[in-house]
């Protein structure tokens, strides 16, 4: 088996393009939306008071100029970009091992989130049996959602040891092929197609103006490293990542600072799609400064403030994980200073990937009822 | 002054087209969205249990087939269709009385809702002074929103008598011209342009398939009667209205049953844009069976259920008033039976006007935190 570093080297823009031609019939070309109001808000300096108690306290607030392009993967099938990677992984499996073998063995994963539903949808579409191991305590709506796509749900305990034990048990019985959620060449290539698509859409919308930057959430890192792979031969477009900082969820940013991948994270950040540590392959990509120029961390309150703006001003429903990139643009003075200094009067065209929209009215109520 | 019936007679499709050519540079061509999931849900018969305790209890649930086309006026400027009427009213004033007179006198209205912000935006765009009388108890965000468009906000008490007294006082001082929120020829023509636009968009999307029906919310009735005016020479497209039933908010439906306009309503329905009785001119249009074929009433819980589906499945933010038409399609067995019987296996293409999206995360939290 190739090492993570070797796999990372084989991640090329051509691999993303190949993935796109394979999955295109199965995924939505999600819209790339603009919002004048959010541009104006982000292009207004923060008040000095807003910086009190932050690492930027005492600085004179930056005056960046942002033109945002929101890649709405919340409108992707199953409500998240994960559909791209899941379809790509299964289509590759079928291409490499033959339809008969894959249909006989089936596929398996453990996830309580968007990857579970994405794999279930892709498997049912391609008529492949799917086994999804979910913690017994998963919310009923997520269990029902996964089942509604025809997957067999098997319950486990909540720790990763317990979940992996159940996966092995099912694999022993069925010989099902494991499809990992993010630390996998084919998954990364699938997620990277969102970058390919947004670049084309930005060019269509602007008459091929330069796209100065793209920012995506970083959880396991599949989306960010896929997008960074696509832009790795387009040096005019910088790629950034964003994470929650709550209870150490900013493992990627901390790892970059320490020069070493952080191996475990235990956090209950509201950005529940971003609670995992960055995968090994993804770390190889994201820690390569030529591919990803920086990863920013945002607080729970900054995530909520960004969510409020998107819900109330753009009228678009996103999950908390989806807005960490926008929150970084709104509140991180290091990033804002950089846009001011490098973008100047012209400012930057910045693509922000809204990774998903799978939330409920109860979850929104819980986030905002005690404010 | 012409009577309401005379004014209603002069409401023609040509008047809507003339309004459109006037306001087009100032308003958004809002998207017409489809949603496969909502089509499927609406095209599934309700369970007989769901009909218990409703007027349809004991009936065998209908099996209609819906293909929805959602006209997203929540993405209109100021977040609601009201921008159309306000721009049209002011552009007509300028055309009829001359720029100098209108700018000297200014315009005035009383509203705590979307009409206030719409008039403020239109007035500031056309550089006309605007006076908006708002109840002292209006939420700070609405006051700030109205002021942010450059209007002068004047506070009053909450009753219509108190509000009208303040309007007269300001008019005595300024000679400002009153722009009513819905019971007005020019306002109705402006709102009707949403119907013109959605008809063209439906034709573009479907290759000129028949649009079988349009359903809009009915509050003061400006939107519904404007849309009905546009379709009044297109008999293949039926126009319907929808209202909340809570505390008698279904004044239009009750009036139609009794053969007489209901003059006053006192309701605190969550669909706060629909608390007013239907205007006199609008009543003349809506009570004309050749123009509007029926008005349906929905409960607070049905409004919340429809809101939940739009937020969670379509990922689109709408205000409660915006979903009463969808709620009627989902829950009213009279309407559903009619679609089954007249649409048969083919079903109906139904345009649903989402009238606005001006809500807050706190308001969503309040609606759904106790469920």
Asked if B368 lies within 8 A of A365 by C-beta distance, the reply is yes
What are the pLDDT digits (tens) for B5-60?
A: 999 999 999 999 999 999 999 999 999 999 999 999 999 999 999 999 999 999 99
Q: Which stretches within B24-177 are classed as H helix?
A: 36-42, 82-97, 99-105, 114-125, 140-148, 160-174
Name the nearest CA neighbour of A239 among A250, A251, A252, A230: A230
pLDDT at B288 over 60: yes
Name the nearest CA neighbour of B38 among B68, B17, B13: B68
Q: Which residue of chain B has the CA closest to A360?
A: B312
What gap in Å lies between CA B325 and CA B306, rounded to an integer? Answer: 9
CB B223 within 8 A of CB B217: yes
What gap in Å lies between CA B65 and CA B72, rounded to an integer? Answer: 22
Name the nearest CA neighbour of A195 among A216, A180, A174, A212: A216
Cβ neighbours of A121 in B, within 8 Å: none
Query: Across the beta sheet with A177-178, what order do the strands follow?
Result: A152-156, A130-135, A107-110, A177-178
What gap in Å lies between CA A313 and CA A46, rounded to an integer? Answer: 18
pLDDT at B124 over 70: yes
CATH topology for B4-80+185-368? Rossmann fold (3.40.50)
How much is the pLDDT for A370? 60
CB A71 within 8 A of CB A351: yes
What gap in Å lies between CA A299 and CA A358, rounded to an integer? Answer: 21
Name the nearest CA neighbour of A315 among B39, B28, B327, B147: B28
How far is residue A295 from each of residues A132, A250, A354, B69, B116, measured CA to CA in Å?
31, 9, 16, 40, 43
CB B133 within 8 A of CB B110: yes
Q: How many CB atoms lie within 10 A of CB A15?
A: 18
What gap in Å lies between CA A345 and CA A268, rounded to an integer? Answer: 40
- CA B94 vs. chain centroid, Å, equals 25
Phi and psi dihedrals of A107, rounded to 5? -125, 155
Q: Using the structure block, give the residue that is written with the tokens 């989306």.
A: A223
CB B241 within 8 A of CB B217: yes
Cβ neighbours of A369 in B, within 8 Å: 362, 365-366, 369
How much is the pLDDT for B371? 46
Candidates A41, A79, A315, A360, partner chain B, best to mutate (most B CBs within 10 A): A315
* Active-site residue set of B: 82, 112
CB A229 within 8 A of CB A13: yes
- CA B88 vs. chain centroid, Å, equals 16
DSSP B149: T
What gap in Å lies between CA B162 and CA B344, rounded to an integer? Answer: 53
DSSP B56: T
What gap in Å lies between CA A21 and CA A166, rounded to an integer? Answer: 35
Cβ neighbours of A38 in B, within 8 Å: none
CB B231 within 8 A of CB B205: no
Phi and psi dihedrals of B297, rounded to 5? -115, 140
How much is the pLDDT for B369? 85
Mean pLDDT, chain B, whole residue set: 95
Per-residue pLDDT of chain A (371 residues; tens, 9 = 90+): 899 999 999 999 999 999 999 999 999 999 999 999 999 999 999 999 999 999 999 999 999 999 999 999 999 999 999 999 999 999 999 999 999 999 999 999 998 789 999 999 999 999 999 999 998 888 787 888 899 888 999 999 888 789 899 999 999 999 999 999 999 999 999 999 999 999 999 999 999 899 999 999 999 999 999 999 999 999 999 999 999 999 999 999 999 999 999 999 999 999 999 999 999 999 999 999 999 999 999 999 999 999 999 999 999 999 999 999 999 999 999 999 999 999 999 999 999 999 999 999 999 999 998 64
What gap in Å lies between CA B117 and CA B237, rounded to an integer? Answer: 32
pLDDT above 90 as % of chain B: 91
| Of the partner residues B79, B367, B368, the one whose CB lies closest to the CB of residue A315 | B79
Q: How many CB atoms lie within 10 A of CB A55?
A: 10
Asked if A312 lies within 8 A of B316 by C-beta distance, the reply is no
Domain with CATH 3.40.50.1100 in chain A: 4-80+185-368, 82-178
What gap in Å lies between CA B325 and CA B243, rounded to an integer? Answer: 8
Q: Average pLDDT, stretch B228-244? A: 98
What gap in Å lies between CA B182 and CA B7, rounded to an integer? Answer: 13
Q: Which residue of chain A has the CA closest to B358?
A: A312
How much is the pLDDT for A220? 95
Question: Which one of 3.30.300.90, 3.50.50.60, 3.40.50.720, 3.40.50.1100 gives the CATH number of domain B82-178?
Answer: 3.40.50.1100
Strands B107-110 and B66-72, bridge-based pairing: unpaired
What gap in Å lies between CA B179 and CA B122, rounded to an integer? Answer: 12
How much is the pLDDT for B370? 61
What gap in Å lies between CA A40 and CA A250, rounded to an integer? Answer: 28
Rg (CA), chain B: 20
Asked if A364 lies within 8 A of B360 by C-beta distance, the reply is no
Q: Using the structure block, give the residue that is written with the tokens 């995530």.
A: A303
Minimum distance, in Å, between the CA of residue B318 and any CA atom of chain A: 7
What gap in Å lies between CA B162 and CA B168, rounded to an integer? Answer: 10
- CA B39 vs. chain centroid, Å, equals 22
How much is the pLDDT for B141? 79
What gap in Å lies between CA A20 and CA A84, rounded to an integer? Answer: 9
Catalytic status, residue A112: yes
Asked if B312 lies within 8 A of A360 by C-beta distance, the reply is yes
A4: which residues sit within 8 A by CB, 6+ positions away?
A: A183, A279, A280, A281, A283, A284
Candidates A364, A366, A371, partner chain B, best to mutate (most B CBs within 10 A): A364
How much is the pLDDT for A158? 82
| Of the partner residues B74, B365, B369, the one whose CB lies closest to the CB of residue A315 | B74
The answer to whether the Cα torsion of A148, A153, A159, A161 is positive or negative is: negative
Look up the ipTM and state it. Answer: 0.93
What gap in Å lies between CA A231 and CA A237, rounded to an integer? Answer: 7
Q: pTM value?
A: 0.95
What gap in Å lies between CA A42 and CA A350, rounded to an integer? Answer: 11
């Amino acid at each position: 088996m190739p090492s993570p570093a070797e796999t990372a080297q084989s991640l090329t823009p051509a691999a993303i393009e190949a993935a796109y031609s394979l999955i295109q019939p199965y995924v939505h070309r999600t819209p790339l939306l603009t919002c004048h109001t959010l541009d104006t808000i982000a292009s207004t300096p923060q008040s000095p008071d807003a910086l009190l108690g932050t690492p930027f306290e005492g600085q004179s607030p930056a005056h960046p100029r942002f033109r945002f392009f929101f890649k709405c993967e919340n409108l992707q099938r199953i409500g998240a970009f994960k559909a791209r990677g899941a379809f790509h992984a299964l289509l590759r499996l079928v291409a490499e091992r033959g339809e008969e073998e894959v249909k006989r063995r089936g596929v398996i994963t453990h996830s309580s989130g968007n990857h579970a539903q994405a794999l279930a949808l892709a498997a049912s579409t391609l008529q492949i049996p799917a086994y999804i191991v979910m913690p017994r305590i998963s919310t009923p709506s997520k269990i029902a959602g996964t089942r509604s796509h025809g997957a067999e749900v098997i319950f486990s305990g909540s720790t990763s040891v317990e979940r992996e034990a159940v996966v092995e048990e099912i694999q022993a019985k069925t010989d099902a092929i494991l499809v990992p959620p993010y630390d996998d060449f084919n998954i990364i290539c699938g997620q990277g197609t969102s970058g390919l698509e947004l670049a084309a859409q930005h060019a269509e919308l602007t008459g091929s103006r330069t796209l100065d930057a793209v920012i995506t959430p970083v959880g396991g890192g599949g989306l960010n490293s896929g997008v960074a792979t696509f832009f790795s031969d387009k040096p005019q477009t910088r790629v950034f990542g964003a994470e929650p900082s709550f209870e150490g969820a900013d493992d990627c940013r901390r790892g970059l600072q320490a020069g070493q991948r952080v191996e475990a994270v235990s956090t209950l950040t509201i950005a529940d799609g971003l609670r995992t540590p960055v995968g090994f392959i993804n770390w190889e990509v994201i820690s390569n400064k030529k591919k990803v120029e920086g990863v920013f961390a945002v607080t729970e309150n900054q995530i909520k403030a960004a969510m409020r703006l998107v819900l109330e001003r753009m009228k678009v429903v996103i999950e908390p994980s989806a807005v960490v990139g926008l929150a970084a643009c709104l509140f991180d003075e290091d990033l804002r200073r950089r846009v001011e200094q490098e973008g100047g009067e012209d400012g930057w065209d910045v693509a922000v990937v809204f990774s998903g929209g799978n939330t409920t009215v109860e979850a929104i109520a819980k986030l905002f009822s005690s404010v």
